[in-house]
Homo-oligomer: A and B are copies of this chain.
Amino acid sequence: MDPATIVGVLLAFGAILGAMVMEGGNPAAIMQPPALVLIFVGTLSACTASNTLPGAIGSFKWLIYGMTAKKVDTEGVIEPLVKMAEKARREGLLALESEIESVEDPFMKKALQMAVDGTDPDDLYEILMAEVKSLKAAATKGASFWNDGGGYAPTIGIIGTVLGLVHVLENLSDPGKLGHLIAAAFIATLWGILSANVMFLPFGKRIKLVGMNEAARMEIIVDGVLAIQAGANPRVVATKLRSKIVADVPGGPVAKEAA
């Protein structure tokens, strides 16, 4: 599991609470139930209103999917594909039948099975790419719920603060409480900005990123399986598939091969 989101969210909360403590504040001061209800119930309600019910529920599953996504192992996909390309070229496409059993990735398994079953290459390409496209669209939709939240939360926080200030302004008779009441009013803005920047927006970006990474991995599988079906030269297949890897570091495959 790639822990970036969990670690990042915890560290960000740590930095905020740490800064409070360093300045002599008490972190408990921001745990105000009205503000928390307003921000979290209000924002998630607005997100739901912008969506369909299955879409809203699915977005929470996308959140779990996004936070617990495995590290994408593109190389671990290319190697078996190249091996199968070699076997298919030597022994024919049907020889892969026995290999398919041991393939763990469900998408690669399905693609290989369809290729071995003699699916027309055009149909095969259309079906597999449609799944890639559907995944991209689904991840974008799953992410948009949280991105919407990142847009709504700060302004709903301002609603809370304006409500609080209105309450203060209507009750100016007790000046001793003013400071405390104004402070309480700003807690809503605080939680609005905090939830947007440390939770909702990172959630949305992560879900989209994880979905796109998975789609890129699937595209490499599609290219590989189609090349296997076409009986392409395994060395060319390996070079082609590697040229499509989007590296996390500068230089990428060129640098690696030139090294």
Contact = CB atoms under 8 A, between A and B. Distances in A.
Interface of A: 2-9, 11-12, 14-16, 18-20, 22-25, 29-30, 33-35, 37-38, 41-42, 45-58, 61-62, 65, 69, 71-72, 106-107, 109-110, 114, 119-120, 123, 126-128, 130-131, 133-135, 137-139, 141-142, 148, 151-152, 154-156, 158-160, 162-172, 178-180, 182-184, 186-190, 193-194, 196-198, 201-202, 205-206, 209-211, 213, 236, 239-240, 243-255, 257-258
Q: How many copies does the complex hold?
A: 5
A25 B180 contact: no
A155 to B, nearest CB: 5
A49 B9 contact: yes
19 contacts: A4-B51, A8-B50, A9-B45, A19-B37, A19-B160, A25-B163, A29-B170, A46-B197, A46-B198, A54-B71, A65-B251, A106-B258, A123-B236, A134-B252, A142-B248, A154-B155, A156-B198, A159-B193, A169-B183
Contacts of A183: 165-166, 169-170
B48 A11 contact: yes
B193 A166 contact: no
Contacts of A156: 12, 16, 193, 197-198
Given A3-B53, A15-B41, 20 more contacts: A6-B49, A8-B46, A14-B41, A16-B156, A23-B163, A25-B163, A25-B167, A50-B201, A51-B206, A53-B71, A57-B248, A58-B247, A61-B249, A65-B250, A127-B243, A154-B155, A155-B193, A155-B196, A162-B193, A171-B179
Given A50-B202, A130-B240, A183-B170, A209 B160 contact: no
A169 B180 contact: yes
A182 B246 CA distance: 47
A209 B170 contact: no
B61 A250 contact: yes
B250 A107 contact: no
Contact of A138 (B38, B166, B247): B247
Given A165-B183, A169-B180, A253-B131, A258 B53 contact: no
A201 to B, nearest CB: 7
B190 A162 contact: yes
A160 B15 CA distance: 10
